[in-house]
A and B are shown apart, each in its own frame.
Chain A
Amino acid sequence: MQENRNLPNDAKTDTFFGSRINRASVLRISRRLTVSVGNLFFKNPILVGGIILSPVISAVTTFRSGVAISIAVIIICIPSIIISELSSKYAPFWVSAIIGALVSALMSVPAYKMISPLSPDIFDNIGIYFPIIMLSSFSSAFTHNRKRRIFIWSVTDVVCAVCGFAFFAILIGSIREILAYGTFNGKLLGIEFKMSGVAMPFFGFILVGFILAIVQKIKNSTVFFKNLIKRRKEVQ
């Protein structure tokens, strides 16, 4: 209802190309969709939230490790958040949070099985922090938001956030692999000048910081993104 109030008057009554769906609902959906898509960058778990930062910094040093950790996040987070969102309709908030945590702990087993062949050393790099980080930060970031009561939008938000995470994890992994080892996906690129320090955690922090700065610069300067932020504020 609050979203309808912000719409123009004609939009509340018009039909959408003669269909039964009125223009107001289309506008509302498009606005909400832009908010979800904004999760790719502006509400991205790595860049803005700063969560799940430690595995990216410590473990994502190659393209493959970036892909591996993205797959792990997809496997663990999407089911756990969906189930916790569903359970929140029928149970108190604290119960749904525990359910989400339990599901993510359960899903870390198949995630481990799936990504071990792809990147065998990723679990050695992050060790016990992997399930802990999954439980504490990512899932709680979505379950704690009491405003999102519509299930489909919660799922869309999670999917977009996970996609954003995957994009930046793979980007960071690729940059670090090229600079540190002179390879991409394990293939030699013929670069002789290598910087082994790039694979160290300190450079991960620096790289994430610079990417964040670039994203903020784009966010502040581009008109499209300004409108996107405006819509986000209107909806929220």
Chain B
Amino acid sequence: MNTSRIQKKAPPHIRTSRTAPIILLDVIISILPLYFMAYIYYGLRVIVLGAIGALTCFLLNLIASALSSQKVNIYNIAPIVTGLLIPLALPAAIDYSIVICACAFSILVVEMPFGGCGFNFFNPAAAGIAFAAFCWPTSVFTYTEPLVKLPVFGKIVASSYSPAYYLKLGAVPKLDLVDLLTGEFVGPMGTSCVFALIAGFIFLLVRKVINWRTVLSYFVAVIAMFALFPRIHSDSISSVLLELCSGSVIFGGIFMVSEPVTAPKRNIPKYIYGFLIGIFTVLFRYYGGFEQGVAFAVLILNIFSPLLDLYSEKVIYYSRRVRIARKPKSSE
């Protein structure tokens, strides 16, 4: 027996050209239009915010890897993705220290204690955003007007509220459809431009970075909830448009819900996972303390993600057994 073809190396044995760095690079490319639009609306400060976030995450990941006796991999760009995503859901006028703390939380508390990239239970970006929202709600939910260039250094006083805040109060914000789609209104710096978000989404979908099942079920749930239970005195279409475009709903659906590490691995749980996140997002927006809810919904459903996989396997196993038992035996 020829045993020379048996591989003695550790897995993975099957390798393709689509490695983790390439997938992460695709995510970074899909984020770039959001930074570009944010730069047009708020100036150079957003680029500095993104750079600080990415650098903080990258350096802390290296330090934590060294301290925890893990392999220090300087080519691991997963922390950079986290560091770029966190500032996008925050206002452009946010203090740099808040971004650093949110990034530090996401890496040191959420990602590294569980084994680093690929082993985390919770979405690091969602956790960082949720941490910032809990610790500095005033800074996180007050914004500056778009098309007003912000200084790179110095303290900026933000005093405007996003349309999501007015929706929470029960008021109907007066926004043009074009403004809604281009993101030219008060809000988080990188989550309001729908065109840029859709461009990133299509790119990720074409490159097969994200799974369409999770995203589809998420948007179905969100749209259904906004249409069936509108909280403003308006028609369903207006309610859906305003609710979808006013906060981080689309951004969360594309970049947080579909994250492959924390999402379920099987197809049917993916539908359930996305659907439940959609429902929880709307519930958080309607009844939660903050105007945004997608980050909290993602974190809650991250806990149930392995359970969804487990129970789906059991359901599939028993359904197969039932099918086999019902199958008539062929007579000889």
Shortest C-beta distance, A172 to chain B (Å), equals 16
Contacts of A193 in B (CB 8 A): 97
> Counting CB contacts under 8 A, is A197 at the interface?
yes
Q: Which residues of A contact B109 (CB under 8 A)?
A: 206
Measured CA separation A193–B135 after assembly (Å): 10
- B36 at interface, CB cutoff 8 A: no
- Tell me, yes or no, whether A195 is within 8 Å of chain B by CB: yes
In the bound complex, residues from chain B placing their C-beta under 8 Å from that of A198 are: 135
Q: A196 in the interface, Cβ–Cβ < 8 Å?
A: yes
B141 within 8 A of A: no
B97 and A196 form a contact (CB under 8 A): no
CB distance from A211 to the nearest CB of B (A): 13
Are A197 and B134 in contact (CB-based, < 8 A)?
A: yes
How far, in whole Å, are A202 and B135 apart by their CA atoms in the complex? Answer: 12
Does B131 have its Cβ within 8 Å of any Cβ on chain A? Answer: yes
CB neighbors of B among A188-222 (8 A): 193, 195-198, 200, 202, 206, 209, 213
Interface string of A71-109 (1 = CB under 8 A from B): 000000000000000000000000000000000000000
Q: Does B311 contact A (CB under 8 A)?
A: no
Partner of B135, one of A196, A206, A209, A213: A196
Q: Which of A195, A202, A209 contacts B136 (CB 8 A)?
A: A195
What total count of A-B pairs have CB within 8 Å?
A: 17
Among B114-171, those with CB < 8 Å from A are: 131, 134-137
Number of interface residues of B (CB under 8 A): 9
Q: Considering the chains assembled together, what is the distance between the CA atoms of A57 and B23 in angstroms?
A: 39
User: B113 — which chain A residues lie within 8 A by C-beta?
Assistant: 209, 213
Q: Which residues of A contact B137 (CB under 8 A)?
A: 196
Instruction: Report the bound CA distance from A195 to B102 in whole Å.
Output: 11
- B51 close to chain A: CB less than 8 A: no
Determine how close the nearest CB of chain A comes to the CB of B68; give it in whole angstroms.
Answer: 10
Most central of A193, A195, A202 by chain B CB within 10 Å: A195
0/1 per residue, A144-187, Cβ < 8 Å to B? 00000000000000000000000000000000000000000000
Q: Are B135's CB and A195's CB within 8 A?
A: yes
Q: List chain B residues, Cβ under 8 A from A209.
A: 113
- Chain A residues lying within 8 Å of B101, measured Cβ to Cβ, are 195
Chain B stretch 218-245: residues in CB contact (< 8 A) with chain A: none
For A202, what are the chain B residues with a Cβ–Cβ distance below 8 Å?
134
Closest to A195 in B: B135
A residues within 8 A CB of B131? Answer: 197
Looking at the assembled complex, report how far the CB atom of B70 sits from the nearest CB atom of chain A, in whole angstroms: 15
Contact partner, A200, options B97, B134, B136, Cβ 8 Å: B134
Measured in the bound complex, the distance between the Cα atoms of B97 and A198 in whole Å is: 16
Q: How far is the CA of A200 from the CA of B109 in the complex (A)?
A: 16
Hey, which chain B residues are within 8 Å of A206, CB to CB?
A: 109
What residues of B have a CB within 8 angstroms of the CB of A195 in the complex? 101, 135-136
Q: Give the complex CA separation of A209 and B137 in angstroms.
A: 25
Across the interface, which residues of B come within 8 angstroms of A197, CB to CB?
A: 131, 134-135
Which of B97, B101, B135 has most chain A Cβ within 10 Å?
B135
CA distance A181 to B113 in the complex (A): 27
B residues less than 8 Å from A213 (CB atoms) = 113
B97: A residues at CB distance < 8 A: 193
Report Cα–Cα, A197/B136, bound state, in Å.
Answer: 8
A202–B134 Cα gap in the complex (Å)?
10
Please encode chain B, from 166 to 207, with 1 for each CB lying within 8 Å of some chain A CB and 0 for all others: 000000000000000000000000000000000000000000
Q: Which residues of B contact A196 (CB under 8 A)?
A: 134-137
Query: What chain A residues lie within 8 Å of B136 (beta carbons)?
Result: 195-196
CB distance from A186 to the nearest CB of B (A): 21
Cα A195 to Cα B104 in complex, Å, equals 13
Q: Which residue of A lies closest to B137 (CB)?
A: A196
A197-B97 Cα distance, complex, nearest whole Å = 15
Closest residue on chain B to residue A198 by CB atoms: B135
Interface centre among A197, A202, A206 (most CB of B within 10 A): A197
In the assembled complex, the CB of A184 is this many whole angstroms from the nearest CB of chain B, namely 19
B141 to chain A minimum Cβ distance, whole angstroms, is 13
A195 to B113, CA, bound (A): 22
- Least Cβ distance of B309 to chain A in Å? 25
Q: CA of A206 to CA of B131 in the docked complex: distance in angstroms?
A: 12
- State in angstroms the CA–CA spacing of A193 and B131 once bound together: 15
Question: Can you sample 13 A-B contacts with CB below 8 Å?
Answer: A193-B97, A195-B101, A195-B135, A195-B136, A196-B134, A196-B135, A196-B137, A197-B131, A197-B134, A197-B135, A202-B134, A206-B109, A209-B113
Given contacts A195-B101, A197-B131, A213-B113, 14 further A-B contacts (CB under 8 A): A193-B97, A195-B135, A195-B136, A196-B134, A196-B135, A196-B136, A196-B137, A197-B134, A197-B135, A198-B135, A200-B134, A202-B134, A206-B109, A209-B113
Residues of B within 8 A of A (CB): 97, 101, 109, 113, 131, 134-137
